[in-house]
Chains A and B, each alone.
Chain A
Amino acid sequence: MKFRGSAVPPPAPHRLQRSPWRSGVGRNINCPMNRSTRRLLEIALLAACWAGVSAGSDPAVSSAPATRNLRVVSMNPSLTRMLIALDAQHVLVGVDEYSADHEPAVAALPRVGGLFNPSLEAVVALEPDLVVVVPSVQQRDFRTRLRELGVEVIELASVTLDQILESMQTLGDRIGRSEAARERVAAIQSTWIDVAREASLRPRRSAVLVLQRDPLYLVGGGSYLSAMLDAAGLDNAAVEYSEAYPRVSLEWLIAAGPQLIIDSSDDPVPAIEHWSRWTSIPAVAEGRVVAVPQGLVTLPGPYLDRSLRTMVAAIRSVDQDSGASQGAESH
């Protein structure tokens, strides 16, 4: 199965863009109407054009019936990105701080707070039909209050791979983008299979994915990122930790001795330089330390297929470098 690329259908064209009225009002000199009647017609047509144009820019008109007048607030950047990927960003009437800061498509939308400080008032003021959240302890009271006020709240988990795919489908179904969601999910799944098949042709290696150096946070077995490592042909050394992002001691890492270190912390000191101290780690000794930008790999969202490809590319680049140096040594 070939990867087809983004399969989001383009929006239906506005009917009125091809309106005959706009091109030739009052220019047909063969029209037998007198001046005042023509004037009246001009005005009426202009008024109709205005109405038409404004109707044309009404998203409800051109979208599928389920999203007509739907007002959604997103409390999490991964969910915001999902909505954007499903070409449904127009249903958003408010987003959380992080989304507004990091997603240009929604930068102009009203902000409703963040993970630790969601603003009940701001959300309610927007009169949403639906609020989408990621299940979290911090926002539990917030969710309860919203439901009490009669607002629909859907919790969409995005920690494991299965959760992300399921969330995307649920979200797509709810806002009337089921088909788009299905295509996205299928794309991710097919990429996963592709990458896994390619990786099965190579020897497996142990690896860690570092999220933060100090304190040392790694990707544990409970995260979709661990599944990503697995698909890429890597054994996550921290898979024994069932939680998503365990904090471990440097000692543990040295003892675990991974063969590859993927460092996605955003630290001014380059990864290779930072890890070069610990020469007893096989990854460092063999030159297999690779840095990836933090957001690219670690923000769970709709484009996990691209993230996976990026990670694989990074891994292969390191293989090439160290392979070249090993090749040079053998001569």
Chain B
Amino acid sequence: MVAELTSFTGADEAVAAVAAVVPPRRPARVKPAGRGRRQAPVLRLRAELPLPWRVGLAGAGMAGVLAVWLWASARSSGAVVVPSPADTWKAVATAWSSGQLRSDFSASMGRIGIGYAVSMAVGLVVGLLMGSLTSVESAVEAPIAFLRYIPATALTPLLLLWLGIGESPKVTLIVLGTVFFNILMVADVVRAVPQELIKVSYTLGAGRVTVLRKVILPHSLPGVIDVARINLAAGWLMLVVAELLAARQGLAYRIVQAQRFHQVDVMFAMLIVFGVIGVASDLALRWLRNAVAPWARP
């Protein structure tokens, strides 16, 4: 058959005829001359991104969130009311000018300020000892491993029962919800102090207390600030839980109030405030870390 065809039209024409009917499966990619594979600068794995790209992509990410929000608010109807960014902004402005935002803000900040400060202080002392002394580690690790897995939020009813509905159960909840993470993570930071640094300090005449104070503590400082920054999110979570249940003031309390009066814009306003506070505290702690430990800057 093939032989017949060949004799009838000639080989080249036969190939051309087949090619015309059967399209190539995939267009052949032109391989650039030279060895190796070129990589596009934007999609290199774990590579530095040029600054314009970084800024541009960050802007695009934020714009994406805003676009979804706008799209959702445009479609909002019936039960699912999504206020527009403009309405939300108006609600923020109203809350600010009425002074309500300020009092809610200071109430919430007071709680998390005290609670988280206590949590970090305990975390620093216990974590420092746990990371430096294996005897403390042995004594403390098992109970903390157990307590850590009790969700702090599950303690809320108990705290309300024991401590009433004042400030103390709220502050306590913030402490309990973060302190175990702080202890364990500070201990990890302390364990990262190089053994040789400790050894060399002994050979320079430092005693154990001096090594703790003048070597382990300063070496751990930037890491401890990072721990504070990362676990602060858990602190906010605990604050919200505490305020949702029983409070007369506070940012999360305002959300519950707004729900009663169907003020979705006020709810959104408070969520935005939470987000802004979170980002601001994150940036502030990053700045603090670089300010107190310029040597650890990457």
B and A form one assembly: no
Q: Which residues of B contact A (CB under 8 A)?
A: none
